[in-house]
Amino acid sequence: MTEYAKTAEGFSCPAPLPSTDRVLLGHGSGGKLSAELIREIFLPAFSNPVLERLDDQAIVDVGGSRLAFTTDSFVVKPLFFPGGDIGSLAVHGTINDLAMGGARPLVMSAAFIIEEGLPMQTLRQVVNSLRRAADRAGVSIVTGDTKVVEKGSADGLFINTSGIGRVRQGVALSADRAEPGDTILLSGSLGDHGIAILAHREGIEFETTIESDSAPLDSMVEALLDTGAAFHCFRDPTRGGLSSTLNEIAAQSGVQIELDDRTIPVREQVRAACEMLGLDPLYVANEGKMVAFVEASGAERALRAMRDHPLGHEAHIIGTVTRRDGPLVTLRTAFGTTRVVDMLAGDQLPRIC
């Protein structure tokens, strides 16, 4: 999940953001408005060195162990969608936030805010799905909480999961550690989750159903770290999509990123849906993909490890890191031209996670 992400310093912003005295849907988008909210309200209040790392997980030392700690609330609509539901998504989201810090997930919490009148059967289905997802990842739900609010005061069911993991020895991954010369890997095709939710929600039908890619990435991270390649940063491009994730990393590391459009995998059907809906796959959320920044010498080894993993058959090298010399993220197109890839502005798809 993209959270507490710093606004990229110095990226081009063609139109000024709407200044507002009320919270807008776009403030939850993972894009520029989210960054503004974090910069103006959350960071000044909670200022501390761990939070200011602005990664998807906090790394804290406890009794000689390096622990990763993360939290995410899930408000996805609808609760059930092709490829998953709010229960499995809540597990995968938190596991992935831990894994992106190089941590092995250990335990999780699950807290439910339920709207009065929710069918028991719906709750049971979600809880069972959540349990199955946790079981598959070998993570126990060790603590929880339940609140019920009056009909009309919530939308069915919201879930918060928090998680604790243990960071692998010698591993130091962070959004501020990307370096010129790094190779950027992407573990698979873009946009499946966002398009699956949107299509299902709007009742749009395609020849075959587009399914969410929601999946736990912890075992892929293990396989990558086992290669011994020099990794600098892992991140799962969720809200705000790949473009927002890469803008954040480039800004925090003080580098520039050059992508090659020809190597970024997007399923034909997702591409068609995006064209129909006026969306750019680079901005659509994923829930089972990761980017890895690795020293060039280890890039081929890392790519093989990704492709050998069941969730990484479509992995590609999608770009490289250079010294800052212009916009944060640029994309070389199939036509040989170059365009700037900015952070998501406004709100593309509300409540996709």
Nearer to a copy of itself by Cβ, of 9 and 116: the residue is 116
Which of these ranges, 1-9, 212-220, 222-230, 287-295, lies near a copy of itself under the rule CB under 8 A? 1-9
Nearer to a copy of itself by Cβ, of 121 and 337: the residue is 121
The answer to whether 141 contacts a copy of itself (rule: CB under 8 A) is yes
Tokens standing for 268? 């034909």
The answer to whether 112 contacts a copy of itself (rule: CB under 8 A) is yes
The answer to whether 277 contacts a copy of itself (rule: CB under 8 A) is no
Strand order in the sheet with 291-294: 231-235, 291-294, 183-186, 316-323, 255-260, 329-332, 338-340
Nearer to a copy of itself by Cβ, of 24 and 277: the residue is 24
Nearer to a copy of itself by Cβ, of 149 and 340: the residue is 149
The whole-angstrom separation of Cα 103 and Cα 172 is 10
How many other C-beta atoms are found inside a 10 Å radius of the C-beta of residue 312? 23
Nearer to a copy of itself by Cβ, of 38 and 184: the residue is 38
Stretch 157-216 residues interacting with a copy of itself (CB under 8 A): 158, 160, 162, 164, 166
Stretch 323-352 residues interacting with a copy of itself (CB under 8 A): 350-351
Q: Are 182 and 61 in contact (CB under 8 A)?
A: no
Nearer to a copy of itself by Cβ, of 156 and 298: the residue is 156
Site size toward a copy of itself, by CB under 8 A: 84
Q: Which of 10, 13, 20, 333 touches a copy of itself by CB under 8 A? A: 20
Name the minimum Å distance from CB 124 to a copy of itself: 6
Tokens standing for 179? 């370096």
End-to-end CA gap in the chain: 9
Give the distance between the most distant pair of CA atoms in the chain: 57
Q: Are 265 and 306 in contact (CB under 8 A)?
A: no
Stretch 50-109 residues interacting with a copy of itself (CB under 8 A): 50-51, 57-58, 60, 62-65, 67, 69-75, 77, 106-107, 109
Strand order in the sheet with 140-149: 58-62, 65-74, 157-167, 103-115, 140-149
Residue 270, classed as helix, strand or coil, is helix
Stretch 255-274 residues interacting with a copy of itself (CB under 8 A): none
The answer to whether 223 contacts a copy of itself (rule: CB under 8 A) is no
Nearer to a copy of itself by Cβ, of 124 and 262: the residue is 124
Gyration radius from the chain CA atoms = 19
The answer to whether 1 contacts a copy of itself (rule: CB under 8 A) is yes
The answer to whether 142 contacts a copy of itself (rule: CB under 8 A) is yes
The whole-angstrom separation of Cα 91 and Cα 161 is 7
Nearer to a copy of itself by Cβ, of 134 and 345: the residue is 134
Q: Are 189 and 241 in contact (CB under 8 A)?
A: no
User: In the beta sheet, which residues pair with residue 111?
Assistant: 145, 160
The answer to whether 138 contacts a copy of itself (rule: CB under 8 A) is no
